[in-house]
Amino acid sequence: MASTDVARQPDNGVRPLSLAGHVGFDSLPDQLVNKSTYQGFCFNILCIGETGIGKSTLMDTLFNTNFENFESSHFEPQVKLRAQTYDLQESNVRLRLTVVNTVGFGDQMNKQESYQPVVDYIDRQFESYLQEELKIKRSLHNYHDSRVHACLYFISPSGHSLKSLDLVTMKKLDSKVNIIPVIAKADTISKSELHKFKIKIMSELVSNGVQIYQFPLDDETVAKVNTTMNGHLPFAVVGSTEEVSVGNKMVKARQYPWGVVQVENENHCDFIKLREMLICVNMEDLREQTHTRHYELYRRCKLEEMGFKDTDPECKPVSLQQTYEAKRQEFLVELQKREDEMRQMFVQRVKEKEAELKEAERELQSRFEQLKRLHADEKAALEEKKRLLDDDQSSFGKRRAAAQLLQAQSLTANGKKDKDRKNSGFM
């Protein structure tokens, strides 16, 4: 856009000016690129698809690396996400790539909540970026951006249409992330079936209002290729890290008894197109869309949910500070109230407990009294018995004494009598 264009309207009092010589700020894009190269780049891909559909293999093929993923089991009770970060380098560009895979997607009997862990993960990344942005002392340029930039949704190659799980999941995600649907294991579909399949998928997406990522058309240099590619969506991909010799070259391919499917052959599958679009042409746009559209939406919703507004009912601009202070006051008042409530409850409980304890003490006391009485009664009874016994004993003793005396008396009387008889007998 030449600055000498007469038709250009000056906006905000800015005049276009022509330069009389070479100033040198045409090096500015280079300076910017150099700085970014120094800092390194970040890219995060989320792969959603059923277990065994080829997510890890495709990632390995895309980035020409072995990401060392192990096979997951089909018996996961819930959908989980596994994120792994890698540092890749090509010429002087350093890329910090994070690949997030779903584990157990589509394996459960009840798939109603399958999308939820994915949505939660994406929101968590937005949240942590938002937290960093709202900090007082923040370091945004050093922050490792973990927000998901692209979401590859792997469609099963059934050849007919999308599954309802696919539709539901994509509908939930389309406002949060850039969705790029791909048809996985595309070597199981014939060319004609594939064409029909693609049309069916796109029409289903449109009729269900799912907004997938459209390659941008505003930059003339890439508009043409992007338009063509938009027409080829969803890409039918085949992934493979094994090499097979075809002709006199070793190419990445899958070998079957009936032939060899070459990954990088555009007649066999759309892998090259995917790599072209995802990495070579639109990586920066994906990042930008994530930041300016999806993240801003999240931020707006989150802040509105927390009660912040830009303008109050009289349409005067309300500063975030004021709202924040008001909310903080509210919060502190709330805290104070809760503290008072808790204190009261505590006092109440203490009283209750005290009453309980007193009651128990009283009970104890009464039982003690009762027992004491019982004991006294028994003692009295025993004493009575003892007295009776003593009486008995003493009367018995007396009687015995009397009997003994009588006996003794009778003995002596008898003796005397005998003696007398004896004595009288002799005469």
Whole-angstrom Cα distance, residue 85 to residue 72? 18
Q: Which of residues 92-131 bind other proteins (CB under 8 A)?
A: 92-93, 95, 117, 121, 131
Buried b (16+ CB within 10 A) or exposed e, 73-86: eeeeeebebeeeee
Under rule CB under 8 A, residue 197 binds other proteins: no
Residue 411 in the binding site for other proteins (CB under 8 A): no
String marking each residue 257-276 x if it binds other proteins according to CB under 8 A: ------------------xx
- In the bound complex, what is the minimum distance in angstroms from residue 256's beta carbon to other proteins? 23
175 binds other proteins (CB under 8 A): no
> Cα separations (Å) of 231 from 167, 190, 195, 214, 271?
20, 19, 11, 10, 15
Task: Pick the piece of the chain touching other proteins (CB under 8 A) from 76-84, 104-112, 377-385, 399-407.
Answer: 76-84
Binding of other proteins by 283 (CB under 8 A): yes
63 binds other proteins (CB under 8 A): yes
* 31 binds other proteins, rule: CB under 8 A: yes
Q: For other proteins, give the closer residue by CB, 73 or 207.
A: 73
Tell me the site size for other proteins, rule CB under 8 A.
96
Give me the phi and psi of 42, to 5 degrees please: -125, 135
DSSP letter, residue 317 = B
Of these, 7, 9, 12, 313, which contacts other proteins (CB under 8 A)?
Answer: 12
**Per-residue mark of binding to other proteins, 229-248 (x: CB under 8 A):** --------------------
Do the beta carbons of residue 196 and residue 312 sit within 8 Å?
no
Report which of 70, 41, 43, 40 is spatially closest to residue 55, judged by C-alpha positions. Answer: 70
137 binds other proteins (CB under 8 A): yes
Told to check if 90 binds other proteins by CB under 8 A, we report yes
Is 158 among the residues that bind other proteins (CB under 8 A)?
A: no
Site for other proteins in 201-220 (CB under 8 A): 218-219
> How far is it, in rounded angstroms, from Cα 6 to Cα 354?
92
Reported as type and span, the H/E element at residue 330 is helix 320-426
CB of 128 to other proteins, least distance (A): 13
Compute the least distance from the CB of residue 346 to other proteins, in Å: 23
Nearer to other proteins, 139 or 424 (CB): 139
Dihedral angle of Cα 270, 85, 83, 73, to the nearest 10 degrees = 70
Q: Report the Cα 191 to chain-centroid distance in Å.
A: 41
How far apart are the C-alpha atoms of 261 and 154, rounded to whole Å? 19
